[in-house]
Structure 1
């Protein structure tokens, strides 16, 4: 085939595809209005042009799509099947155009975010986000309580662990692990534990879950097996920040998320111990109400957190989370 023939063939295929698409638009408008004249009025065509377009479509498909009389127009069974497909295809095209338009929109407006109590450790990242997107106003609720995302009008919820409840869109931003840390002065005075069991002789700074009132167990692994042990409670707090402060003051050892003590580990004010025995891997995710499109302010916020909290991590694809038998708690996280 010559170059001219290839160009002609490509042009013919393109023209045919456009004819098919315009035929689907005309057919769908007639099927929805059940009137050639009304469909023509909406599309800016004459009733005669609409009739000819439908006739060409029926000839190409080899089926009748409408039963016509002088008084009425109604779909044939084949027409009803074809209408369902056409509506889906045209709807997806419209959605794609809308998503492209909204992706180009400027992020702005109030962004209501629910963040767990550990979230105050994210303040440097949140501050950086505010500097980069000054037209987005953050409205942050620091809480570990179960929130109703939809009823409370929240835009984004950040949560640790496995997502439960609800019909929400979820994106896993990354994973973190817990580290056991202590100040150099504490380790010099009390010694560095070399096994998890040795912690029974140390001052342990414990985290209590505010919702359940239970202490978070320190998880360990040995020879591929996970286990925990009973530990003393020198101090207990329902937030991570006080535990870090107490550990920096040399008052004990704390088990905290690795991202919460990056600065302290880097400057040497805290030292991680028992690294060979700590190997938990916990998801940190963003969730928001499911919809056809993600608002620009939500999209840039989630992307920003991923880049700055978990650099190098590959975020999980957006998915819809549906917990079985959780209809009464729809939208809760």
Structure 2
């Protein structure tokens, strides 16, 4: 086993905090991974990893060695890519926001695989934060404004959004003509129940996102009460269809419901700001040809969304 492979094994163990998961990622026997680290530590004369029953983490010497290994491996990858076959190959582990995967990425994935047949995909889905390094994920695709993070983001699309509600909701609560009417409190004497929202909870903070509107004065935010709070895109739309409140969603999510009259656009003169869609990947890493090619392809996929 050469020293570069030992470095690859060591850095993968640090990233995954596990001998077993590192072995699975590298398609190596668990014993091979264990013996490689034993030989590496013996040759260097230092202990690189602290092993407990729950996890593996680098020692102080291990952390220094890890940083240097990452630089060397990045240089090696960059050097080899300058001479190897220009087509990407190998396993690509990605995590996609569920509706983006369902509506856009997976239906067109055969195009990518036909063009790059040596790329093998492993796709996970969700809206939650993903620790790319710890979980061994190459990149993630997310919609919405991004919180501060240690990842690099590449924007691939801006999705048109609409504010909408069901006809049954508008019949009970009225169709607000202005933002002032939307935010007006309930008036029991006048028989005005006040407006409600299906509230979408932030995966990061757990707090409900306010409704946002683009006006000549800038973006205005309105927070409404509501009987339902959700943390998933499908449930969010389902709540609006059930008449439980007003929602703001990308137009592609409700195009059919709008055409059928199951949902109606509200406050069209002051639409929500467009929703950004971004590919994220770790900082301080040599971006592989697989990830670069996939990100470029996603830009093409979303080019004609609206």
Q: Shorter-chain TM-score: what band? A: 0.5 to 0.7
Q: Provide the residue aligned with 1:251 in structure 2.
A: 244
SS of residue paired to 1:140 = strand
1:294 aligns with 2:276: no
Query: 1:219 deviation in Å?
Result: 1.7
1:127 aligns with 2:106: yes
Q: Provide the residue aligned with 2:140 in structure 1.
A: 157
Q: Provide the residue aligned with 1:214 in structure 2.
A: 207
Distance 1:214 1:95, change over 3 A: closer
SS of residue paired to 1:228 = strand
Q: Give distance in 1, aligned partners of 2:147 and 2:200.
A: 21
SS of residue paired to 1:231 = coil
Listed as ranges, the matches of 1:1-333 within 5 Å are 98-99=81-82, 101-102=84-85, 104-107=86-89, 109-116=90-97, 119-134=98-113, 136-145=120-129, 147-159=130-142, 160-162=144-146, 164-166=148-150, 168-200=151-183, 201-289=194-282, 291-296=285-290, 298-311=291-304
Stretches of structure 2 lacking an aligned partner (at least 5 in a row) = 1-74, 184-193
Distance 1:302 1:163, change over 3 A: farther
Q: Structure 1, residues 22-64: CA drift from partner, whole Å, max 9, x if none?
A: xxxxxxxxxxxxxxxxxxxxxxxxxxxxxxxxxxxxxxxxxxx
Distance 1:287 1:195, change over 3 A: same
Q: Provide the residue aligned with 1:324 in structure 2.
A: none
Query: 1:140 deviation in Å?
Result: 0.8
Q: Give distance in 1, aligned partners of 2:243 and 2:149.
A: 40
Q: Structure 1, residues 299-319: CA drift from partner, whole Å, max 9, x if none?
A: 443233322334289xxxxxx
Q: Give distance in 2, aligned partners of 1:210 and 1:153.
A: 21
Q: Give distance in 1, aligned partners of 2:268 and 2:79.
A: 48
Q: Give distance in 1, aligned partners of 2:198 and 2:287.
A: 44
Distance 1:288 1:99, change over 3 A: farther
Q: Give distance in 1, aligned partners of 2:203 and 2:287.
A: 34
SS of residue paired to 2:132 = coil
Q: Is the 8 A contact 1:197 1:229 kept in 2?
A: no
Query: 1:207 deviation in Å?
Result: 0.8
Aligned structure 1 segments of 4 or more residues deviating by more than 6 angstroms: none
Q: Structure 1, residues 112-134: CA drift from partner, whole Å, max 9, x if none?
A: 22334xx3353132321333345
Q: Structure 1, residues 144-190: CA drift from partner, whole Å, max 9, x if none?
A: 22x32223211112233246332x54321022354211223433454
Q: Give distance in 1, aligned partners of 2:124 and 2:265.
A: 31
TM-score using structure 2 length? 0.58
Q: Is the 8 A contact 2:212 2:220 kept in 1?
A: yes
Q: Give distance in 1, aligned partners of 2:131 and 2:223.
A: 35
Which structure: larger Rg? 1
Stretches of structure 1 lacking an aligned partner (at least 5 in a row) = 1-91, 314-333
